[in-house]
């Protein structure tokens, strides 16, 4: 007669060897470890993530390239100077003011000059630093405000939800670029609070503010669902305050959503900064950014098309790499994603 142990093994489909006390079952794997296993197998997402990391490192090395290799500052123009191209000496700006194109000389005007005789390669790296800095600060502002607004509106509901939701609806009613232009122009002309002119920080604040509803509304919807779960009811029965429940019960369950939103908001913030700067409501001279380089290079098309093409390629490559990596990160954090986990 089969023992109860064998019957249990038969009913559950588990062999008796696994049920043997001498055999240890593998430890449980947490959701983020599973997400990392999924992400490791998405080589396209990892490749684009490395591309974005490379762009960040190159932009951070801008002072080293400027001071130790190119020996020129990003704002220094040399319209009357000369540079060697293919063994020949050419003017940086010719007689009609057209700048020299890429020389492929790593130390001097590697990507050519702009309309004022400035080194495009040096300005490209410094402009990337400013664009990435604005995008990062704007992302932090967006995520912080959105998490606070979405969590409060979703958990407290009632009049709090009504007020916050209506404010978000008003902001959402305006296109992000149009609202950014209005706020940027107001800061530049009349000032706003501590900001009396457009700076990198004020641009980051404007970009970060306009994207708050796009993140706060999905967070609010998820909090509305979470507050009806059993573990939230248990926390209320234990006498925990709403602030403590939101901090230690709700927010940890929003971690995956927040992580997925970060690269998406970062990509949109960089694009919005470039658009605002191109339209004159973002970064102002002498500060460089990819948006200012594209705006300044429009006047030299088509003779010096590199002044628009170079920052445009960097902008597209940066946003594309963030978006592809963000898509891979979303798939890795999605427990329903049909990606083989395998063994480490």
Distance, CA of 187 to CA of 171 (rounded, Å): 18
Please say whether the beta carbons of 338 and 317 come within 8 A.
no
* CB-based burial label for 31 (10 Å; 0-12, 13-18, 19+): exposed
Could you count the other beta carbons within 10 Å of the beta carbon of residue 44? 11
Taken in order of first residue, the domains within the chain and their CATH numbers are: 127-333 (1.10.3720.10)
In this prediction, residue 123 carries a pLDDT of 94
55 Cβ neighbours under 8 A, 6+ residues apart: 128, 132, 314, 317, 318, 321
Distance, CA of 325 to CA of 329 (rounded, Å): 6
User: What's the gap between Cα 185 and its chain centre?
Assistant: 24
Residue whose C-alpha is closest to residue 258's, from 215, 226, 322: 215
- The runs of H, that is alpha helices, within 246-305 are 251-253, 255-278, 290-297
Could you count the other beta carbons within 10 Å of the beta carbon of residue 304? 22
141 Cβ neighbours under 8 A, 6+ residues apart: 204, 205, 208, 209
Residue whose C-alpha is closest to residue 315's, from 292, 285, 284, 296: 292
Distance, CA of 304 to CA of 84 (rounded, Å): 17
Distance, CA of 246 to CA of 10 (rounded, Å): 45
Q: 3-state DSSP call for residue 81? A: coil
In this prediction, residue 226 carries a pLDDT of 92
- In sign, the C-alpha dihedral spanning 104, 105, 107, 112 is negative
Distance, CA of 219 to CA of 265 (rounded, Å): 14
Tens-binned pLDDT, residue by residue, of the chain (344 aa)? 444 444 444 444 444 444 444 445 456 667 778 888 888 898 999 999 999 999 999 999 999 999 999 889 998 888 888 888 877 888 888 878 889 889 888 888 899 998 889 999 999 999 999 999 999 999 999 999 999 999 999 999 999 999 999 999 999 998 888 888 888 888 888 777 777 677 888 899 999 999 999 999 999 999 999 999 999 999 999 989 999 999 999 999 998 889 999 999 999 999 999 999 888 888 887 788 999 999 888 888 888 888 999 999 999 999 999 999 999 998 888 756 444 434 43
Q: Looking only at Cα atoms, what is the longest distance across the chain?
A: 103
In this prediction, residue 330 carries a pLDDT of 87
Q: What angle do CA 118, 111, 310 make, to 5 degrees?
A: 100
* CB-based burial label for 25 (10 Å; 0-12, 13-18, 19+): exposed
- Written as six digits, the tokens of 141 are 């502002």
In this prediction, residue 28 carries a pLDDT of 62
Residue whose C-alpha is closest to residue 132's, from 42, 32, 55: 55
């Amino acid at each position: 007669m089969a023992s109860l142990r064998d019957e249990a093994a038969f009913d559950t489909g588990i062999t008796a060897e696994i049920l043997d006390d001498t055999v240890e079952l593998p430890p449980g794997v947490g959701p983020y470890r599973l997400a990392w296993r999924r992400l490791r197998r998405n080589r396209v997402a990892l490749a684009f993530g490395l591309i974005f990391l490379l762009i960040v490192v190159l932009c951070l090395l801008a002072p080293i390239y400027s001071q130790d290799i190119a020996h020129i500052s990003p704002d220094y123009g040399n319209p009357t100077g000369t540079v060697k191209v293919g063994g020949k000496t050419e003017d940086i700006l010719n007689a009609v003011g057209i700048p020299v194109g890429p020389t492929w000389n790593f130390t001097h005007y590697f990507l050519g000059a702009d309309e004022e005789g400035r080194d495009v390669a040096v300005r490209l790296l410094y402009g990337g630093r400013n664009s990435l800095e604005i995008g990062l600060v704007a992302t932090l502002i967006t995520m912080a405000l959105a998490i606070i607004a979405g969590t409060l509106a979703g958990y407290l509901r009632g009049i709090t939800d009504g007020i916050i939701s209506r404010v978000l609806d008003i902001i959402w009613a305006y296109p992000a670029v149009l609202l950014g232009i209005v706020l940027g122009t107001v800061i530049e002309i009349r000032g706003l609070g501590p900001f009396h002119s457009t700076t990198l920080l004020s641009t980051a604040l404007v970009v970060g503010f306009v994207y708050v509803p796009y993140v706060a509304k999905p967070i609010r919807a998820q909090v509305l669902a979470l507050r009806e779960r059993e573990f939230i009811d248990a926390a209320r029965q234990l006498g925990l305050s709403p602030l403590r429940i939101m901090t230690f019960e709700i927010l940890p369950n929003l971690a995956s959503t927040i992580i997925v939103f970060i690269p998406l908001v970062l990509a949109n913030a960089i694009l919005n900064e470039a658009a605002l700067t191109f339209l004159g409501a973002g970064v102002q001279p002498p500060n460089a950014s990819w948006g200012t380089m594209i705006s300044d290079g429009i006047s030299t098309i088509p003779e010096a098309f590199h002044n628009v093409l170079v920052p445009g390629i960097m902008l597209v490559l940066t946003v594309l790499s963030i978006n592809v990596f963000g898509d891979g990160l979303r798939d890795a954090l999605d427990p329903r994603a049909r990606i083989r986990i395998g063994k480490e």
